[in-house]
Amino acid sequence: MNEMIRGTAAGVPFLARPPERPTDTTPLVVGWHLMDPPRSEAAMAAAVPMASVPAWRVYLGLPEHGERAPAGGQQEITRRAAEDYVLKLIDPIVSAASGEFPAALHALRSRLATTGPLGLFGGSAGGAVALQVLTEQDVEVTAAALVNPVAQLERVADGAATWFGTPYPWTDQSRAAAARLDFVARVGELAKRRPDLALLLVRGDLDEPEFREPLGELARALDAELIDVPGMEHSLAAEVDARRVDAAFSDWFGRHLIPPLL
C-alpha cells in the first residue's frame, strides 16, 4: 500500500492518501476537517479515508488548527468563540482557508503530478470553506460532498447562544461577515458559477436546526442530493457516523468524479 504523504502546499498543512496506481490524470479530492471531532487533517483522514475511491484524497488543515494552532490550543479557540463567534472564530478561519485554497491547489497539483478532475469535501466549518470556494473562487470543480456544513452563519451564531449563555451581539461588521457566509442567500451565485456541479449534502438527523434547515433549503435550491443520517449529531466523533459519511462520500465521488472504464 502506498504511504500517506504529509507536507505543506503554499503554506497549508496537508495529508494526502494516494491511490494504488496514480497517473498524471488521477482525480484529486481535497477537503477540510471540522472544528468539532474530527478537528485536524489527520483525524479527518482517519475518519473519512475514502479508501475505495481511485483518486488522491487530500486533507487540508484549517487555519488556527493543528500545526497552525494558536498558543493555548483548543482552550484559546474556545475563548475566541465565546468572545465573538463570528468575527474571532468562524469568519476569519473560513475566509482565510478559502482565500489560500487556489495557491494550495496549484502546489498540490505540482507535488502530486496530476491534472485530473477536482472534487471538494468538508464538514461543518470545513464545509463552509468548500461552499465559499464554490461560490467565489475561479477553480474548476466537478463534484463536491459536504457533511453538516455551516450554510447560514447568522442562524448558527444565534444558535450558539445556547452554548455560551448569552445572545450573540450583532454589529454591522458581524452582519456583513455573516452575509458573506450565507450560502442560502448566495445560492444564485453558486448556481451560476457551477451549473454542472454534482453536489451531495449529508446531514445528521440529530444535528441542530440551525445546521439542518439551511442545508435543506440549499439542497432544494441547487437540486442537490440530500442524505439524512439517522442518529447522527453534528460531529463525526462516533465511529459508526464516520463510517456512514465515508460510505456516502466514497459512493458520490466514485460515481461523479472517476472517469468510466472504456
pLDDT at 261: 46
CA dist 113 and 156 (Å) reads: 39
pLDDT of 1 > 60? The answer is no
pLDDT at 84: 94
Please state the rounded mean pLDDT for residues 5-23: 96
pTM for the model stands at 0.96
pLDDT for 213-262, tens place per residue? 999 999 999 999 999 999 999 999 999 999 999 999 999 999 999 876 43
- Distances from the Cα of 58 to the Cαs of 55, 80, 113, 122, 240, in angstroms? 9, 28, 13, 11, 22
Instruction: Name the percent of the chain lying above pLDDT 70.
Output: 98
CATH T-level topology, domain 5-256:
Rossmann fold (3.40.50)
pLDDT for 112-123, tens place per residue? 999 999 999 999
Please state the rounded mean pLDDT for residues 200-215: 97
Please state the rounded mean pLDDT for residues 17-22: 94
pLDDT for 125-144, tens place per residue? 999 999 999 999 999 999 99
Sign of the C-alpha dihedral, residues 160, 149, 75, 172? negative
Q: Where are the domains of the chain?
A: 5-256
pLDDT at 262: 35
pLDDT for 37-92, tens place per residue? 999 999 999 999 999 999 999 999 999 998 899 998 989 998 999 999 999 999 99
Confidence of residue 162 (pLDDT cuts 50, 70, 90): confident
CA dist 186 and 197 (Å) reads: 16
Please state the rounded mean pLDDT for residues 178-206: 97
Under 8 Å CB-to-CB from 83, ≥6 apart: which residues?
none
